[in-house]
Amino acid sequence: MRHPPIWIGAGGEQLMLPIVARQADAWHAFGSDDSLARKSRLLDQLAEKAGRDPNAILRSASLSLSRPWDQVRRRAAHLRAAGFGYLIAEWPSEGKGRLSEFVEKVLPELAG
């Protein structure tokens, strides 16, 4: 019987990323675009060292919807290029109207 997916939210390179590489089905990370890209590459190396396919580990990060749309698009593109396949949209401080605008104007571009 397969267990429910194990998600680990962590950023520590010495202790936590090696655990993610060995055990996690998904990794949720926080940080700048450059930091996340670097840690994603490190996770690839650690997974291979542990005998796992790095592509078997889903990478997840948060996406702020309170930033200008061009920044939201850039971050999403950067994260996709770094191997992140799951983005968690943060509730915008501007409220439901901003979320609706995201769904109508930006999400279709990101999904395409």
Whether 101 maps to a domain, the answer reads yes
What pLDDT is stored for residue 105 in this prediction?
Answer: 92
Whether 67 maps to a domain, the answer reads yes
Handedness of CA 47, 51, 52, 53 (dihedral sign): positive
Q: What is the pLDDT of residues 27-79, one digit of tens each?
A: 999 999 999 999 999 999 999 999 999 999 999 999 999 999 999 999 999 99
Check whether 81 has a pLDDT greater than 70: yes
pLDDT interval class at 2 (50, 70, 90): confident
Whether 82 maps to a domain, the answer reads yes
Distance CA 46, CA 31 (A): 19
Structural domain count, the chain: 1
Whether 2 maps to a domain, the answer reads no
Domain of 103, in residue numbers: 7-111
Query: Letter for the amino acid at 91?
Result: W
Using CA atoms, how far residue 4 sits from 1, 7, 25, 50, in Å, is: 10, 9, 9, 21
Residues with Cβ within 8 Å of residue 19, at least 6 apart in sequence = 8, 10
Whether 81 maps to a domain, the answer reads yes
- 57 three-class SS: coil
Q: What is the pLDDT of residues 11-26, one digit of tens each?
A: 999 999 999 999 999 9
